[in-house]
Amino acid sequence: MTSAWRLGLLAGTTGLALAAAPARADTVNFDLSGKIYTKYMYKNDNTQGCLSMSNPFWVDNIQGSNGACTEFELTMKARVGPKVSAGVRLQSRWGMMWQDWWENGDMKPGVSDTSGESLGMNHAQYIKLRGAYARLAPPIPTVKWITIGSTDYSMWNEWTIGKARYIDRDNGSGVFVEGELLPAKRLSYTTGAMALPKLWAGPGWQTGIPGDASGGGGDTKAGLYGTDWAFAAKLESQVSDDLRLKLIGSLIQDWEADRNSPFLTTGPSSAARGADHSVALATRFRGVNATLDGAWTPGSLEFLSISGLAAYSSNYVNPDYATNMVRNGQGFSPVVFKVDGRGQAVASNGAAGKLLVELFDPLRNGLSAKVEGFYIGSEYNAIMGARREADVLLTDGIITGGFTRGGQLPTLNVANEFQDWDEPWYETCIGWQGATVLLEYVSGGLKTTLEGTAIGYNTNKQNRDVSNQYPDFLYPNGFTDTTAYTADADYANKYARGKDPRSVYARFQDRFTSLAVLNAQYAVSAPGNPVLSGKAKYVHDSDGRNKAFVDPGTGQVTPKGDDYLGKALMFMLAATVQPTSELKLSAGYEYSTWTEKNRVGSQSAGYYDDDTRRHTVHAGLNYAFGGALLGYSLEYFHKNLLRQAPNYDMVWNVWRSKATFEVAW
Amino acid sequence: MRTQLFVGIAALAALTGCGLENIFGNAGHAPYDRPASRITGTLQEGVPATRLAVLDGAGNGLEPFQVTAGGGGYEIRLPSSKYAFIRIQGRGGNAQWRALVPFVGEESSTVENLDARSLTEVLLVEAWLGARGKKFLQLNPAAHLGDGLTSGTRTLIRRDMDTAGTPTAQLLGMVTRVLTRVNLSAGSVDPDFFGVPEMTGWTVKTSPLGAGFLTRNPLDYDSDGIAESDSAKFDAKLAEAAQRYNPAGCADPSRVRVLFTSDFRANKLDGNCGVINRFKWAVDKPGKSMFFVGWVHQDSPVQDDKADQLLGAGTPNMVRMYDDGTNGDEVAGDGIWTVSFDLPPGLRVGYKYTWGTSGAPWTGSEEWPGNSRLLEVLDVGPIDPATGQGDNFVYRRDVFGDEATNKDRSNQNGSSDKGAITWTTDMHGCGPEVREQPFTDGNACVCGTSWHTPESVGPLTVACTGP
């Protein structure tokens, strides 16, 4: 063999070997990042844990207000090739306190033994796979990206399938296709098929978790959730430079095995019976949501923006496969169990719409205005809509306070849980109709907004069936005190915290609410860049409830005397100062008072008045150094709840703090 | 064109998988009907579905899940099960109809008209039971139905109905004439006719015809040209005709009725007087119920394939037991599960109980693994001293999970001797473990003092060809 032959053979072999080498991610294309997050909590009570409020129903053992906890997150992203990427997040389980020495995942229910090995995996800091995904851009016409795996569902909207709340941010997985049918964003599309969460997206906050023999744990009428998916599609068009339109539709399909399939019934599995070793499926729940929204921002009128949205929802529950939680769950249900006049289950349908007109400093004097009209039907419900960390209305709403932020969402599935005391609160806005006018004035270091909102209720109705069809969440009365809110077992309202933020329906309702909000912020030109801010808010909430009592004997109509009238007033002042570029300090005071006539009680037992006053003092600091961030908040509130006899008065003297420290690399 | 093709392929590719198969496969699926034991028949026009009722063998109401009526007919759907000697009752105005359903099985249907012939039949059987102090529960469908030609109570009654001059034909004529007085708009609280006859011996104590009805509305129901103003002739004819039959049937010389009962109540005692842990081997889960699994034992002198299949042929969780007051179960919901079989005498059976779901495997459902219970099918008690015959029952009471009584190999009886039992082993001095025994309720370590003859079901009989 000549040298030339040898060289040729070597070159050929090497070439083949190179050609056959699989694609691989080298370190250049490999991104690795980590983060340590530590939280310290204090409260002058006897609870222990690192989460102010966990699941209020199935109370778990991570809720508590005294302790320190740490979690670690490792994120890996790989650019496999120019058109293929992948990622994964490894996250330690939240819940183990620094004090939980030796906890190894053993679970001994009801026992906290001296071995320190009894609290289960919630306290074991195990590393869990989260957020695994791959994205590819295959050469298929119109297709830009295909994503397989975890995502936060943020490609849809709050009225259909909402962005998952932060703690669920990559728990959801599916297959998504994004593409462009027309160039220059004239028409683009997104489709998605998403595995339904077994836990919350359906009647009874689940999609078919089997219940035990006593009826607890899950739904005794159901037991199949691996077949359940949601599907959604979005068409988006930048029709012109001024006009953008977006159409979104979603279908949530919860199946159960048709229990009368011949193969499942008690007879022999004979062909004569049609037992063909297959099982048909029956719908347990079907939710359809659709929105069309658009924004018009005319180039010729730069100060003007008009946006609007129209929405429709339809939710059908099959009572053969879903336990009626209105009837059997004390009115706690994220869906309506609607029936027709013959008692047959029918879909609960609703429409919604809103229109927002914004004028941005049209007179060049710093004054802007926003006007929003909204109409949300009495039965509009986005079962998988955003559950928190979003806001669909311009108004400040009813639930927010001074230090407490929040928003309004068009779902009965609002989630004010798995959160700390300093986090926002959300209320459902199903049934709201009305308008908001918001004026904003900016001048120099001053920024002020003034809001006025009137809210009528499409849910106003007399003698609504809240026993079998419409969930009332047991506590439909009174302003919700988010500051003093506690999650007691089975949602017991033993500290008179007000209405459940999910409560939409009442047996008798004739309600109207108006509110005014003034916000002001002033940046002072002084060392430390101090900023002064203030907020004042007034809410007037009236509910005629049972409008009249008709004497069955005489037919005489007399007022029932059960009218609710709530007046809430709140002032808040706060100041922040930044003495160095790394350090920011804040302090503030809030005073809230609300008087409520006929706040608590019932039609049969009568109603009683309440009078509430609350002082809240707040201080905090933030410190950033290199890649490390430290935050600390300290709060004290004193609350007096003065209740009409025979109820006794209550008082709160609560100190609580929360510190966070995170470092990322 | 090519682009559109690509788009189509891409769209289809995007649509496959991820749960869409279920939509494709089930979107047009109409839910299956609930499995039912269905009874249909003719019905007096104008009797509403709401006035139809079903009575079980003990006279208690059963809950159909669907009842329809109209157009001269009715349909009743009961939850799919085996029902014996239930009665369909229709009420309209001043009248009440009844029809006897000797048997309707799982996912099957039968036709029973609510008419004069059915009424006559049910009146005859009710009168016979009243006179003999027996219950519907104790009748045997096979004995009642017979072969449809020459044997069986129903066969004989219907033959007589069609034979002029027989008491039964005469009674049918009376019933037919009384039915001409049906007034559906009458607002009677109790029906004027036909109630359940109450008997004292062969004398009618309470007539099926309401006491005041004929007084107010004299009727020539026996067609002798004279209007009767009381029920005496009707009652006499009913008693006369009823004596012509034997609905209990005639003794079956070839088989005996065997009742297996499994005590599944908590904290019951095993053969060592120890408290039984029911879930030592079995796992409790929602939807579970008691099943029987048996087979013809290899030691059996009688080898019967049909009996083997009947017993479940050793396949677990196929033969369901009952604790709902039906199919021989004596008290609904008392934790004593029952199943019965008709087996040849002398057969030797291996068996055990499983707490499972239909078709589930052994693991997690059987009361204990690797062993079986034994039974020799011999009617050893109680013995009638007058005839020297047994009660035609073999009644076995076991406590679920008991490893110290009737467990064939690794028996836990005694503190240390983990022995086996044979066809003659007598561990507790109560007689061989493998045979019918008196029992003590909920306690397998104390001999029973009296024999038990169930009243929830009758002994095995065959159809008679005459009274």
Of the candidates B7, B33, B286, the beta carbon closest to that of A260 is on: B33
Nearest to B311 by CA among B278, B279, B352: B352
pTM: 0.80
Q: Which residues of A touch B286 (CB under 8 A)?
A: 210-213, 220
Q: What is the pLDDT of residue A613?
A: 97
**What is the DSSP pairing of strand A406-409 with strand A425-428?**
parallel
CA distances to A61, A114, A548 from A108, in Å: 12, 12, 56
Residues B153, B175: Cα–Cα separation, whole Å: 19
Burial B122-142 (b: 16+ CB within 10 A, else e): bbbbbbbbbbbeebbbbbbbb
* B68 and B140 Cβ atoms separated by less than 8 Å: no
A227 part of contact set with chain B, CB < 8 Å: yes
% of chain A residues with pLDDT over 70: 91
Q: What is the pLDDT of residue B242?
A: 96
Q: What is the pLDDT of residue B429?
A: 84
- Chain B residue with CA closest to A196: the answer is B19
Residue to mutate among B15, B18, B66, with most A CBs inside 10 A, is B18
Chain centroid, CA B339 distance in Å: 10
Q: Which residues of A touch B7 (CB under 8 A)?
A: 141-142
Rg (CA), chain B: 28
Residue to mutate among A148, A182, A187, A265, with most B CBs inside 10 A, is A265
* B119 and B98 Cβ atoms separated by less than 8 Å: yes
A177 part of contact set with chain B, CB < 8 Å: yes
Residues paired with A87 in a beta bridge: A77, A133
Q: Which residues of B touch A174 (CB under 8 A)?
A: 18
Residue A390 to chain B, least CA–CA distance (Å):
28
A262 part of contact set with chain B, CB < 8 Å: yes
Of the candidates A142, A193, A280, the beta carbon closest to that of B18 is on: A193
Look up the ipTM and state it.
0.79
Residue B349 to chain A, least CA–CA distance (Å):
23
Whether residue A143 and residue B10 make contact (CB cut-off 8 A), yes or no, is: yes
Q: Which residues of B touch A193 (CB under 8 A)?
A: 17-20
Q: What is the pLDDT of residue A7?
A: 43
Whether residue B358 and residue A266 make contact (CB cut-off 8 A), yes or no, is: yes
A282 part of contact set with chain B, CB < 8 Å: yes
Q: Which residues of A touch B13 (CB under 8 A)?
A: 140
Q: Which residues of B touch A321 (CB under 8 A)?
A: none
Token pair recorded at residue B241: 């005709």
For chain B, 467 residues long, give each residue's pLDDT as a single digit of tens: 565 556 555 555 555 668 888 888 888 889 999 999 999 999 999 999 999 999 998 888 999 999 999 999 999 999 998 899 999 999 999 999 999 999 999 889 999 999 999 999 999 999 999 999 888 988 889 899 998 888 899 999 999 999 999 999 999 999 999 999 999 988 878 899 999 999 999 999 999 999 888 999 899 999 999 999 999 999 999 999 999 999 988 878 888 999 999 999 999 999 889 999 999 999 988 889 999 999 999 999 989 899 999 999 999 999 999 998 888 899 999 999 999 999 999 999 999 999 998 888 898 999 999 899 999 999 998 888 877 778 889 999 999 999 999 998 888 887 545 578 889 888 888 889 899 999 999 998 888 888 999 888 888 888 887 76
Whether residue B10 and residue A273 make contact (CB cut-off 8 A), yes or no, is: no
Low-confidence ranges of chain A (pLDDT < 70): 1-28, 56-59, 110-113, 212-216, 488-491, 549-552, 555-559
- Chain A residue with CA closest to B284: the answer is A213
CB pairs under 8 A between A and B: 90
Q: What is the pLDDT of residue A1?
A: 43
Q: What is the pLDDT of residue B1?
A: 52
- 């189509």: which residue's tokens? B8
Whether residue B10 and residue A140 make contact (CB cut-off 8 A), yes or no, is: yes
* B442 and B399 Cβ atoms separated by less than 8 Å: yes
CA angle A469, A474, A477 (to 5 degrees): 115
Residue B7 to chain A, least CA–CA distance (Å):
6
Q: Which residues of B touch A180 (CB under 8 A)?
A: none
Q: What is the pLDDT of residue B27?
A: 81
Whether residue A229 and residue B32 make contact (CB cut-off 8 A), yes or no, is: no
Q: Which residues lie below 8 Å from residue B144, measured CB to CB, with a gap of 6+?
A: B85, B102, B125, B152, B153, B154, B247, B249, B463
Chain centroid, CA A319 distance in Å: 26
Q: What is the pLDDT of residue A273?
A: 86
Chain centroid, CA A555 distance in Å: 47
A273 part of contact set with chain B, CB < 8 Å: yes
* A73 and A91 Cβ atoms separated by less than 8 Å: yes
DSSP output for B165-233: TSHHHHHHHHHHHHGGG--TT---SS-SB----EEETTEEEE-SB-TTHHHHS-B-TT-SSS-BSSSHH
